[in-house]
Amino acid sequence: MAALLVLAGCAGPAPEEAPAAAAAPGFPVTIEHALGTTTIPAPPTRIVALSYEEDVLSRIGVAVVGRTENYYAPGTLHPWQEGAVDPGAVPLGGPAGLELERIAALDPDLILATNYYELENSYEASPPSAPTVGYRTGWGEATWQDTARVVGRAVGKEAAVEQRIGEVDGGVAALAAELPGLSGKTFSSVFYHDAGQFTVDTNPEGHTAKLLGQLGMVMSPRIVAEVVNRSLGAEQIGLIDADLVRLGFATDGLRAELTASPLFQALPAVRDGRVYESDVFGATAGNNPTMLNVPWQLERQREVLERVAASGGS
């Protein structure tokens, strides 16, 4: 015991603990979402994006280690991402679903799933180890601008994101000014998925309505009032007519069938060249608008939009 006391006396004062490292400016960040509250302690450097957040991040110079899979051409970038998003980031999701092991292998320090509505199933079964930011509203309710702001906050780049939002919105406003004839024009947005059967967008507050609304357009009142359960049979094809008809097809065969139909050919929008035919990538962008694909969408539609603006209206 005496020896212990001597040693203790000779040891001198205990060294002071090193001060904790100062937090990075703006961090930690706390974000509330539908699945809970997430705290991000420091600027993330290994980000996994599960629902097109890489589009936002690419515009503010932030890299990702995992990106949203291209469902229709697995392993490749979406066409609007070419030249902007790093093709070397690991694609995740897609036809194979969410592969948690592949995500874990990337050792992420932030997982962004702001529009990944299947997250709840994975979240409950096996909560991710990295901070995860989920969706905050129901599908189609959040604007791309709101989602971009959440992403900007998560990575500590709110001002940079706001600047990019302003640039995109400014481009849309410029197009509206160039084509004032679009103001008050109507549109319909339909998908021919089986022989004689259309799925119809009937949500006047949805993504398509919000984007075309920035150009002054409105969803066809007949679509809103008369289409039930977003479904329409070929015998009711007259309901899809509007100043602008946005039309997608499940297959080339269905496209050939519909475009050969006398009922389709008789639609005023078809006769006047006011139909915009969208492929699967256009439909994907329309359902998942981002600051990268909004300009891409409008550029692809511009020729038809010019005809609609110049028309007398339906």
DSSP string, 149-216: HHHHHHTT-HHHHHHHHHHHHHHHHHHHHH-GGGTT-EEEEEEEEETTEEEE---TTSHHHHHHHTTT
pLDDT, residue 26, reads: 87
CATH 3.40.50.1980 correct for 29-158: yes
Q: What is the pLDDT of residue 314?
A: 65
pLDDT of res. 8: 29
pTM comes to 0.88
Task: Say whether 179-310 and 29-158 share the same fold.
Answer: yes
Residues 219/239, Cβ–Cβ less than 8 Å: no
pLDDT at position 129 is 76
Tokens of 210: 């919000």
Structure tokens at 284: 């994907």
Name every residue whose Cβ is closer than 8 Å to that of residue 154 and which is 6 or more positions away in sequence: 29, 31, 40, 44, 110, 112, 133
Structure tokens at 12: 């001198």
**DSSP secondary structure letter of residue 231:** E
User: What is the C-alpha separation between 186 and 104, in angstroms, rounded?
Assistant: 47
Output the tens digit of pLDDT for each of the chain's 314 residues. 333 222 223 334 444 554 445 567 889 999 999 989 999 999 999 999 999 999 999 999 999 999 999 999 999 999 999 999 999 999 998 877 788 889 999 999 999 999 998 887 776 666 677 999 999 988 888 999 999 999 999 999 999 999 999 999 999 999 999 999 999 999 999 999 999 999 999 999 999 999 999 999 999 999 999 999 999 999 999 999 999 999 999 899 999 999 999 999 999 999 999 999 999 999 999 999 999 999 999 999 999 999 999 998 76
Nearest CA among 176, 178, 180, 202 for reference residue 189: 202
**Residue boundaries of the structural domains of the chain:** 29-158, 179-310
Residue 77's pLDDT is what?
98
Query: In CATH, which of 3.30.70.150, 3.40.50.1980, 3.40.50.1820, 3.40.1180.10 is domain 179-310?
Result: 3.40.50.1980
Angle at 276 between CA 271 and CA 277, to 5 degrees: 105
* Residue 23: per-residue pLDDT: 66
In 50-184, the DSSP E strands lie at 66-68, 90-92, 110-112, 132-133
Interatomic CA distance for residues 218 and 255, integer angstroms: 26
